[in-house]
Amino acid sequence: MLAVNGNVVEVTNICKTFKGDLFQKPFSALKDISFEIEKGESFGLIGVNGAGKSTTIKIILGVIFPDSGEVKILGDSPGALKVKKKISYLPENPVFYENLNGEDFIKFVGRLRGLEGKVLRDEVERWLFKVNLEKDGKKPLKKYSRGMIQRIGLAQAFIGNPELVILDEPLNGLDPLGRRMARDLIEETLRLGTTVFFTSHILEDIERICHRVAIIHSGRILRFVDVKDLKEGLEEVFIRTLEEYEESN
Amino acid sequence: MKRVIELARITVKQAIKERSFYVILIATLLAVLAVPVLYSFTMFEVPRVLAGFALSYTNFAVLILMLFLVMNLSQTDLDRKTLQYVISLPIRRRDYVFGRFLGFVFFACILIFFILAIMVPFVALFSRMRPDAPFYIGYYFLYGVFLLIEVALLVAIALLFLSLTSRTIVSMFGVAGCYIVGHTMDEVAEFLRTGAGMNMPVFSKAVIQVVRYIFPNLALFDVKTAFIYGKGMDGMSLFLSLLYGVLYTVIVLLLAVVLFEKKEVY
Amino acid sequence: MKSKGGRLLIVFILVLLMIGVNYFFDKPQVRLKGREEAERFRLYANPSFEKWSGFEFTFLKAFYYTLGLRVYMGKLSEEYLAPPPFAKDPIVRTAEVVTRLCPYYYDIYYIANGYLTWDYGDVETANRLLEKGLEYTPERWIYYLYLGFNHFYFLKDYEKGAMYLVKASEVSGKPQYAHLASKLLYASGRTEVAIGILKGMIENTRDEGWKRGLETRLKALEGIYELEKAVEVFRERFGTLPQNLEELKNAGIIKGIPEDPYGGEFYIDEEGNVRTTSNLTYMD
């Protein structure tokens, strides 16, 4: 179910300040952020560390709540059950429950997404295969390498065909083959009409996969970039945008 | 409801695959070796001494393992931020609390059952060899029920703390504190009523009263002495103790859910 | 999505419910009678086991067990007017375990000594405990005071009693106990000595409940002392012992007969000693 104008994600004037505890001053993470993502779009959020990427994602997921402004995911508030049924999330440097084995974990996610019985078993097998973990399904996650964890993370993000996939630095920790596989998976899911929202440091990957990009810095979106229309490299645009910002402040 | 079951199931799976579960079972097998030793050293009232040992051991082993499991969960969920991921899954926040609770309580059931299943045959065997005091096998399992209630209550309290803080150490101290207060409360209240306690400053007495009304009275579930001596127990008081446990647990769980709904999970 | 105010209300209601449940279930459910609970003390493992299983917490255990004993004796005092016979075993067991756990811990000594001497007549065990306490804390002169009292008052061993009193003076630096010791060695004045020692004990007791017990005894002894003095005056004046205490009043030596705080009556026996029907314990 989409918003009236076909937007999967609508973020309007979001502000978020983290109250300091005893040892830290309050920190203004997001200062008036607004953007939209259309259905089937591949949208990237790029910025330096601490710019506000993860905070934005957490607000979209309903994990934390904005101080002001409005967020609508698939026409509803984030954190609503019917929204969560249609979205998936892969955190940055994910940590999953290490006692479980790969298969149990994927099954768990699959069941929550509504898959059952034979369909569930088939999907679990299919996705373990697609991320090259078909031989490691029975191993506990604590025995997985960094790359394997990342791959199982991708599997859980795609199983059940969610409408919106949110990936925070998804290519982290993958070797070149792994990165290729991840890119292929993302492109495949885009072809199926899924909306993808992802963040990355690696502008090369963003350039390859995203249709549109927002540059975020110090809690503000400085610029939107249409990747297709880009005449120069994304990196140049990025650096230039940051420099312009630094100068005017 | 389905989601609650899913979370409960995954909780039990995680717990069973914890190595410590097997360590405790092995420790129980070793502890069983202590039974014949105790038997030969005891002068009189063999069944009572053995019962004392078996019940105390069960109490200790179960509490230690459950504390460890909850701490582990807290470390993954809070410290390593897995909780952020889990609540982005298609579950309601309350499903998480209820699911975890159910999972832990179910696992505690299994644990208590296994430990008693290993211990009780041995204890029964040696008790029968010199039954100079009466004993009833049924009491062991009835004790299991009371221990389960106490564990359920402590798990609910742990979940309440998880909903309140983002640091494991705070939750652990919180649960430990509730445990200590819960067990000493009865004694302190008695102390106040009689003897020297009567001359304490009013302020201290007021503080103790407040504490008494907020913290759970865990001593109600420590029926070991009553069971061992077969005294001081009647259906009504046992039923009331269980009822108290259930009511209190439900309230704490609801509190945890309400607080968790709007918790910012950093 | 509930409003913040709504949630606060729900939290408040839940906390009230919690307090309500605690209040409603206030009475401890599984309660043993005093006699039954005495058996619980038999579950104490032997003192050595208690000590090594206490690791770093032996003092805590000592404190906790002593507290347990006090609470238990307090409960008994509600059911029984005087400590009942079955309570002796718990007292002795606790004393043995606690003094093994932490022989420096004072409270158990005066508690155990108090009950064992006055209520159970087992002065030997009490003295043994006190001697042990002295081994570890020889500077605690109050133990000498107790030992002195026990020997002279209960065991009627006036020489040893005097010796302990002198030691008490030495260690404490308070001369009054040595003075009392010298009085002891005379046939008369023993009640005065007892009064003097009791006053010393009262001064050095922190526990209010305990103090009150000692003060009651003091009051009784002071009554006896007053009567003894009056008997002496009577004897000097009339050359014989009075038949009963009324004669003292009639002779104008005392205005009235003092009351025995234990509920008994003072009387004079054939040898002219002032006694009381209560024998200095509460009468049933």
Q: Is A230's pLDDT higher than 90?
A: no
* CB proximity C15 to B under 8 Å: yes
What ipTM was assigned to the predicted interfaces of this complex? 0.89
pLDDT > 90 fraction of chain A, expressed in percent and rounded: 50
Q: What is the pTM of this model?
A: 0.77
* Closest-CA distance of chain A to residue B52, Å: 35
DSSP-derived 3-state class of residue A165 = strand
**What local confidence, expressed as pLDDT, does residue B249 receive?**
95
Scan for tokens 């129980």, then name that residue. Answer: B28
Query: Which chains neighbour C (Cβ–Cβ under 8 Å, 3 or more pairs)?
Result: B
Q: Is the separation of the CB atoms in C152 and C190 below 8 Å? A: yes
Q: Is the separation of the CB atoms in A124 and B129 below 8 Å? A: no
Question: Mean pLDDT over residues B29-55, rounded?
Answer: 77
Q: Is the separation of the CB atoms in B189 and B170 below 8 Å? A: no
Which of the four pLDDT bands, split at 50, 70 and 90, describes residue A237? confident
- CATH number for region A41-53+79-248: 3.40.50.300
User: How many angstroms separate the CA atoms of A19 and A8, rounded?
Assistant: 30
Which of the four pLDDT bands, split at 50, 70 and 90, describes residue C284? very low
Residues 6+ apart with CB under 8 A from A110: A120, A123, A124, A159, A160
* pLDDT tens per residue across span C61-96: 888 888 888 888 888 887 888 888 889 989 999 999
| Backbone phi and psi for residue A18, each to the nearest 5 degrees, phi listed first | -90, 125
* pLDDT tens per residue across span B179-224: 988 887 877 777 676 655 566 777 877 888 888 888 998 888 888 7
Q: Name the residue in chain A with its Cα closest to that of B78.
A: A95
Domain count, chain B: 1
8-state DSSP, B75: I
Smallest Cβ–Cβ distance between A140 and the set B17, B81, B90 belongs to B17
Please list every residue in chain A whose beta carbon sits closer than 8 Å to the beta carbon of residue B76: 95, 97-98
**What local confidence, expressed as pLDDT, does residue B230 receive?**
65
Residue B266 falls inside a structural domain:
no
What would the two tokens of residue C256 be?
């009235």
**B139: part of which helix (H) or strand (E)?**
helix B137-164
* Closest-CA distance of chain A to residue B121, Å: 32
Q: Is A158's pLDDT higher than 50?
A: yes
Query: Which chains neighbour B (Cβ–Cβ under 8 Å, 3 or more pairs)?
Result: A, C
Residue C205: which of C109, C64, C72, C101 has the closest Cα? Answer: C109
* Closest-CA distance of chain B to residue C69, Å: 10
Q: Do B232 and C39 touch (CB under 8 A)?
A: no
Q: Is C178's pLDDT higher than 70?
A: yes
**What local confidence, expressed as pLDDT, does residue C241 receive?**
83
What would the two tokens of residue B132 be?
């100079």
Scan for tokens 């410590």, then name that residue. Answer: B20
Domain ranges of chain A: 41-53+79-248
Domain ranges of chain C: 36-137, 221-276
Average predicted confidence (pLDDT) for chain C: 83
Question: Mean pLDDT over residues C219-240, rounded?
Answer: 87
Q: Is the separation of the CB atoms in C103 and C135 below 8 Å? A: yes
Please list every residue in chain A whose beta carbon sits closer than 8 Å to the beta carbon of residue B3: 112
Q: Do B240 and C14 touch (CB under 8 A)?
A: no
* pLDDT tens per residue across span C181-229: 877 776 556 788 888 888 888 887 777 777 888 888 888 888 888 888 8
Question: Mean pLDDT over residues A113-136, rounded?
Answer: 92
Residues 6+ apart with CB under 8 A from B173: none
Which of the four pLDDT bands, split at 50, 70 and 90, describes residue C1? very low
User: How many angstroms separate the CA atoms of A66 and A33, rounded?
Assistant: 11
Q: Name the residue in chain B with its Cα closest to that of A95.
A: B82
Q: Which domain holds residue B42?
A: 2-261
Reduced 3-state DSSP string for chain C:
CCCHHHHHHHHHHHHHHHHHHHHHCCCCCCCCCHHHHHHHHHHCCCHHHHHHCCHHHHHHHHHHHHHHHHHHHHHHHHHCCCCCHHHHHHHHHHHHHHHHHCCCCCHHHHHHHHHHHHHCCCHHHHHHHHHHHHHHCCCCHHHHHHHHHHHHHHCCCHHHHHHHHHHHHHHHCCCHHHHHHHHHCCCCCHHHHHHHHHHHHHHCCCCHHHHHHHHHHHHHHHHHHHHHHHHHHHHHHHCCCCCCHHHHHHCCCCCCCCCCCCCCCEEECCCCCEEECCCCCCCC
* Closest-CA distance of chain A to residue B83, Å: 9
Q: Which residue type sits at A106? A: I
